[in-house]
Structure 1
């Protein structure tokens, strides 16, 4: 898909692959950078997408493809928020308007999409480990292939990045790590490493002194006898520990280069050309500005990390049309953020924890209202969970707000450090279920199955925002681990009462008036906000003469056994629906219980959920429809079940 209204600049229009970049004179690279940056702005202003990070690495992207022989040489992008320029230069320029759209380009590097996307990414801090694996294989294969990892300073706060660096330094493998230091991730970076890099980036005088000292020692080592040379070498080693701004990286076995101006493409390109031929692990420290070249994005880097609605590409003013009602339903994350503050004001045990996502999870609201009781620990999900466990041992009630897909990175902490010790920690898992345009790296597909497997874990999911508030309160009254999942995006918009009400653990509810004794053709059991589709499905079925009852499980562990006994006593056709993988999910929990309770005889159960394959990107509704858990899919499953049953009876 091309957009005839958006055309690339004259030089960018000639670039079909990185070989075309390498054919340019180095003096032409600034023009290419200007045109590439403008093209990204033009596309994202209309179609949306991640924004600031890609603008900040335009020069670095061009310089890398000019200096390295891609795709023979391998570039590994950490997370991939910053890879838009890379995609445009690697044969996907004309298709770029489909970025993050249903059936279009992925918003992240993806191996199946291009040979230039050497490693699939979407989660932070993986690039160094992956690149080291590639470089080691290249050495074993004697291929001569060069490998580069590009990692941001935010991703560098993740422990996995240091595990990779520690191993790389010890192996002495040829590897270039480019540290893209823009001093911000999705939200402002935190932690000692952030402070260290800030000092390094401001140490221009230290770099000058360092170079002068190095020259002096070189001269000393060339004079006199062996004793003077050995003394000079020993003093030099000692001085390096003091005078090297990147001494942390030097201590890990990397040759540190920098800091350099990440927006001087000519200097970057020539430097990278030289570094390509140097042996061993090297770290190039590149200073950049997130949102570079687009004034609104430079001024508000958090807001302009990504944009979902159209905007004026000069002023940055939103061009989104107002809704007919003039307002929107609140987002689930904001319902959570507001509720936690209310609860914390009444309960001084409550503390908040997030892993570099204060805005995405709305934990930032508590950090602002109660800065001494809410903590952003950086891109370190495992640390966040164990940190929360430590506080729980001291009488606090930690609320650990982490996206479902990122909670996967902390699973051992959930099991070993929280559940095994039966500590009261609430795992508030945002973006549960399909997450939309971010695609499979960000879908929260697995949390029902992996949390339900943990001994002693309570697992719950609200169908609406009122239930979210009440389940949050319920969790704070429970003395043990509690997993609460809720989706991305807008809630129902229902009116909510003031205050909170505790929901007894393992209590579901009838949504339709089946509790009065009426029966129907089928009962639909839902878990979580996906239940909001059932009303539309029931209307469609009623037109076909099919009556469907609806019950909301609320909890998949423990289950509401009384509700389920009622369902299996009155219905011989049951459908379960969840926005998570079917294997091991809420439907599996119902089937396991029914088998153990010996109530399955004569009852047909169909489970709907995410398939045993990875769901791609698109809007949440598009993806729900694709996998059959949207209103039409639910109605179709009911028709198929009722029709199959009727056919069996007729036979």
Structure 2
């Protein structure tokens, strides 16, 4: 009964219609007022509720000031369920969810996590219910790319190694894990280990340190911009702990706006289809010899 949901004119798009129908007293649609949606979470959290602000990645940008001053500054237990993270296909150019990791990672007190499939999503939601500080979880429009398998329970700041490999490590975050798996299936001469990062803030530093002794070439997969993103977080960590013998390549979005179009066409334009990524990996591997 503590859990309440808020959205900004997107009950259908964010999948909250069932909550509205079954628990109308625990649901608010504040219309196209993202700043109000975010701010209203604060008093609810202060009064013992577990508020969840369900919002598109691109629209959360409109409430950025409120995320900082009204939620994070007071370290309140609000969940930001960030829908449409990554490529949104025909939703349009302005709806691409590319920036949320970068703009949220800079905020103190904020935890960032992402699921990789349906089972992972359910377990992450369970994890957030008793989480007492701000947390943002991101997920894509439509289906996950990762295989549908049972995952372990979430633990703060802990990753999960999904597959052992040789020489090369694929690090995926959110839907990037599925992209890494699809890329791995296209490879002919490379057998990568695959890590589900789970949290980009805080990072699983212990696991990354251990993996740095086994794998010297890391490839980062995340449906988000490179600047300030997942690879940036990993590189910052490696520099801080003076690990200098690991190379990190990012397959995040380049520094340009993502055009409107069907998702497969946009992925090809960005060079992130499984085949395109596999070609890049094999080429980089050859250049490193």
TM over 0.5: yes
Matched, 1:380 2:28: no
Which residue in 1 is equivalent to 2:54? 401
Matched, 1:614 2:257: yes
Matched, 1:577 2:230: no
Q: 1:502 to 1:477 in 2, by over 3 A?
A: farther
Matched, 1:531 2:177: yes
Matched position secondary structure for 1:618: coil
CA distance in 2, matches of 1:476, 1:421: 18
For 1:173-200, what per-residue CA distance to the aligned partner results, in whole angstroms no more than 9, with x for missing partners? Answer: xxxxxxxxxxxxxxxxxxxxxxxxxxxx
Q: In the TM superposition, what are the counterparts of 1:113-132 in structure 2 within 5 Å?
A: none
Q: Is the 8 A contact 1:577 1:629 kept in 2?
A: no
Matched, 1:636 2:279: yes
CA distance in 1, matches of 2:44, 2:274: 43
Which residue in 1 is equivalent to 2:239? 595
Matched, 1:511 2:155: no
More divergent stretch after superposition (353-362 vs 530-539): 530-539
Which residue in 1 is equivalent to 2:14? 361
Q: Is the 8 A contact 2:146 2:177 kept in 1?
A: no
Matched position secondary structure for 1:637: helix
Shift of residue 604, structure 1, vs aligned partner: 1.4
Q: Is the 8 A contact 1:533 1:631 kept in 2?
A: yes
Q: In the TM superposition, what are the counterparts of 1:124-523 in structure 2 within 5 Å?
A: 348-491=1-144, 502-512=153-163, 514=164, 519-523=165-169
Cα RMSD of the aligned pairs, angstroms, is 1.7
| Higher relative helix content | 1
For 1:588-609, what per-residue CA distance to the aligned partner results, in whole angstroms no more than 9, with x for missing partners? Answer: 101101111111x222111111
Shift of residue 631, structure 1, vs aligned partner: 1.0
CA distance in 2, matches of 1:605, 1:434: 23
For 1:112-160, what per-residue CA distance to the aligned partner results, in whole angstroms no more than 9, with x for missing partners? Answer: xxxxxxxxxxxxxxxxxxxxxxxxxxxxxxxxxxxxxxxxxxxxxxxxx
Structure 2 length-normalised TM: 0.95
Q: Which runs of 5+ in 2 are unaligned?
A: none
For 1:512-534, what per-residue CA distance to the aligned partner results, in whole angstroms no more than 9, with x for missing partners? Answer: 1x2xxxx5131111111122122
Matched, 1:605 2:248: yes
Q: Is the 8 A contact 2:147 2:178 kept in 1?
A: no
Which residue in 1 is equivalent to 2:197? 553
For 1:217-274, what per-residue CA distance to the aligned partner results, in whole angstroms no more than 9, with x for missing partners? Answer: xxxxxxxxxxxxxxxxxxxxxxxxxxxxxxxxxxxxxxxxxxxxxxxxxxxxxxxxxx
Structure 1 length-normalised TM: 0.43
Q: Is the 8 A contact 1:355 1:381 kept in 2?
A: yes
Count of residue pairs brought into register by the alignment: 289
CA distance in 2, matches of 1:626, 1:609: 13
CA distance in 1, matches of 2:209, 2:265: 34
Q: Is the 8 A contact 1:403 1:430 kept in 2?
A: yes
Matched position secondary structure for 1:610: coil
Q: Which has the bigger relative contact order, CA under 8 A and spacing at least 6?
A: 2
Q: Is the 8 A contact 1:521 1:642 kept in 2?
A: no
